[in-house]
Homo-oligomer: A and B are copies of this chain.
């Protein structure tokens, strides 16, 4: 644990609460406009957040009937935000299952250049099965196949990013030599799934490599994250669960030969902030009253695989439904455990459970004053559960503005968060070192042998 925590703004069209777009304070009519996202990113940048983050599923589901989903593609959106900001990191989600490595390597390398070293890639294998049909697959690959592809994909992409030595561009006007091609290395990757020669047509990214982010919660996901990820998004309800996850990931990382400080763990937090505890609860109630139970039940099923009945909204959730993981997917099982914990501890009615999940889909929800939110953040940070937080405002832009104007100053007073940026790249914000190129040794050997 470093002495300073990290804050990431998880951008979600009208806000993370599933009914945010219906609330009069939000602006769902702007969610396809660049200006709207520039405004959100500038709010986060003015508060010296480490990064903004955009999630992605390359498919549209009928959830769009109920919520402001379906929108801009993250990489292009963040390239636009890059031009409207100057310091904040930019983390885009993209799927290793549904991209070609050469295409994705150049998109992210280009984003890193366009932002002068502020790009991050949230590496996902895509959980949603409906995506397969958009890419000509009859069946969505199972997790084992997806992670095998993701591992080789990362191997290819990092080889491509590493290809240009730092001094490959010699720019010698006198002799007419632009680059020294001896210092540009092909990937020459030949693996079970990919054959990629390279080199990449984009010079080495300013950060060496864009920051690799991951959010796998399954056993395979954790193992993948511990091996490759430099920042991790995760979802926990209780400090003890956050601590267990944190310890597990850092332990796994050391087994891959990595230092614990090389991975920044950022649990999600969804804050409803009020001047008083009562005002905060009232604000949350306003949003919960706008939820559509049919939609909440559908989201619960998507999240956990458990289908509850609308007719029994005000009856207690049947406990036994959450004891058996059944044939849900590996990833759904991890979120199912989070929800099962809520059901077991709080014994909610179905309606209450839906409201508990409406804001943050199983992430930590804190409703209270700015002090209470800051207290929770400090508690998790000081007790080995978090290196910072992935902030998920229940509504945009107001929820982020409240966090920036109320919570961030408290974190600064407590010496937990920077007053201003001290670095200029996302790696510098997160305290991550610049990766050494895998061709660096090779060049050294050549030079020594020459």
Query: Chain A interface (Cβ within 8 Å of chain B)?
Result: 19, 21-22, 24, 28-29, 32-34, 38, 57-60, 62, 64-73, 75-77, 79-84, 98-100, 102-103, 106-107, 109-111, 113-116, 133-136, 171, 173, 176-181, 184, 194-203, 290, 292, 295
A-B CB contact pairs (8 Å), 29 listed: A21-B173, A28-B171, A34-B115, A58-B102, A59-B201, A60-B184, A60-B199, A62-B181, A64-B184, A65-B177, A65-B180, A72-B110, A72-B202, A73-B107, A75-B76, A76-B76, A76-B114, A77-B110, A80-B80, A80-B82, A81-B83, A98-B102, A99-B100, A100-B135, A133-B195, A133-B196, A133-B197, A134-B198, A136-B196
**What are the 7 closest A-B residue pairs judged by CB atoms, nearest first?**
A83-B83, A79-B79, A133-B197, A73-B110, A60-B201, A76-B79, A76-B110
**Contact between B201 and A65, CB atoms less than 8 A apart:** no
Residues of B within 8 A of A66 (CB): 176-178
Within the assembled complex, what's the spacing in Å between the Cα atoms of A34 and B79?
10
Which residues of chain B come closer than 8 Å to A70, judged between CB atoms?
A: 179, 201-203
For A131, give the chain B residue with the smallest CB separation: B102
CA distance A80 to B79 in the complex (A): 5
Cβ-neighbour of A107 out of B75, B84, B181 (below 8 A): B75
Contacts of A197 on B, CB cut-off 8 Å? 133-134
Contacts of A76 in B (CB 8 A): 75-76, 79, 107, 110-111, 114
Known: A76-B76, A184-B60. A82 touches B34 (CB 8 A): yes
Q: How far is the CA of A98 from the CA of B173 in the complex (A)?
A: 34
Residues of B within 8 A of A65 (CB): 177-181
Given contacts A21-B173, A58-B103, A133-B196, 7 further A-B contacts (CB under 8 A): A22-B176, A34-B83, A69-B201, A71-B201, A71-B203, A98-B103, A134-B198
